[in-house]
Each structure stands twice: as C-alpha cells, then as structure tokens.
Amino acid sequence: MGLLSKDIKTMDDLLQHGLQDIYYAEQQITKALPKMIELATNRDLTLGLKNHLEETHKQIERLDQVFKKLGKQPSGTDCPAIDGLIKEANEIAGEIEDKSVLDAAIVASAQAVEHYEICRYGTLIAWAEELGHDDIVRFLTTNLNEEKAANTKLNTVALRKGVNRKAAS
C-alpha cells in the first residue's frame, strides 16, 4: 500500500497506513541503532543511544497496543523515508575517519530520524483525535514525547557535552 495507493480511501485507511509506516520505521531503527552505538566514541552519546534503543522497543510495544485497540494485527509497510535516512547515515559514517567528526555526524543522523518520527507521531495523533480514537492517542503521545526528549538530549550532547566543539577542533 503506497501513500497514494488505491487502498487508501478513508481517513481510517490513512491512519492505518501511517501506523504501519511508523511501526516499520521503529523496527528499522532498532536494527540501525546498535551500529550507531558501536561507532560512537563520546560516552554521553553512546549512553543516550543505548537508552533510546530501550525506549524504541517500548514504543513498538505501545504501537502493538494501538493496533490491538483498533482491532488490527500489528504490521508494517515499507517506509522509504526512514530507509533513506538510515542509508544516508550509514554512507556518511562509512566516509568519516576522524572519530570526533563521526560522533557529530551520528548526532546529526539521529536527529534527522527523531525529526521524522516527531512529524509522523504528531500527524497520527491529529488524525486519531479527529477520528475519535481517543483510546490510542495516549500511546501515540507518549511515543511523541519520548522522541522529542531524545532530540533534546541529542542537542545537549552536541552543544553542551562538546561533541560539536571537539569535532570542529
């Protein structure tokens, strides 16, 4: 089911597609984060990525609950956006030899993913509210708030914990 698919006829179909998209994205993120953790050298960055990996597993569990409340089986659909962000992160990481510059690139790549997720969850919440699916809004909002917090932590690592400063020197 593509974004402009004939299978999307109603707002409920659109919500379902969006949920499948973010479900797939979260699954892909759990596969990509261990590599980022392995490559990171900054202690705060490594710890933050490890913590967010644990959060991502919990986010998937919440999405399982969302699907259950909607009477659907949890499933994903290909998400070219997240695939592209992960591919770009891997390509950039493979090109950087300086570990401090690599840490800055990892922060930037992780933030690109967080911004995508923040956008997706915000949209899903708006659609769920409009459709009267108040029973799933709480789960989606918790995930959204965790994504926003992860982005804030990445900002702190980059700016206050010195990742960007070290990379620039």
Give residue 59's domain range.
Answer: 11-168
Span 13-27, pLDDT tens digits:
999 999 999 999 999
**Measured between alpha carbons, how far is 81 from 2 in angstroms, rounded to an integer?**
12
5 in a domain, yes or no? no
pLDDT of 89 over the 50 cut:
yes
Span 120-148, pLDDT tens digits:
999 999 999 999 999 999 999 999 999 99
159 in a domain, yes or no? yes
Q: Domain total for the chain? A: 1
156 in a domain, yes or no? yes
Q: Which residue in the block uniquely carries the two structure tokens 């479900």?
A: 23
CA–CA distances in Å: residue 20 to residues 48, 91, 121, 135, 141: 26, 26, 12, 18, 17
Q: In the predicted model, what is the mean pLDDT of residues 32-51?
A: 94
Q: Which residue in the block uniquely carries the two structure tokens 């699916």?
A: 133
pTM (predicted TM-score) = 0.92
pLDDT of 40 over the 50 cut:
yes
113 in a domain, yes or no? yes
pLDDT attached to residue 4: 53
Q: What is the CATH number of the domain that holds 81?
A: 1.20.1260.10
Span 69-82, pLDDT tens digits:
999 999 999 999 99
Q: Which residue in the block uniquely carries the two structure tokens 């597609």?
A: 17
**Measured between alpha carbons, how far is 117 from 113 in angstroms, rounded to an integer?**
6
44 in a domain, yes or no? yes
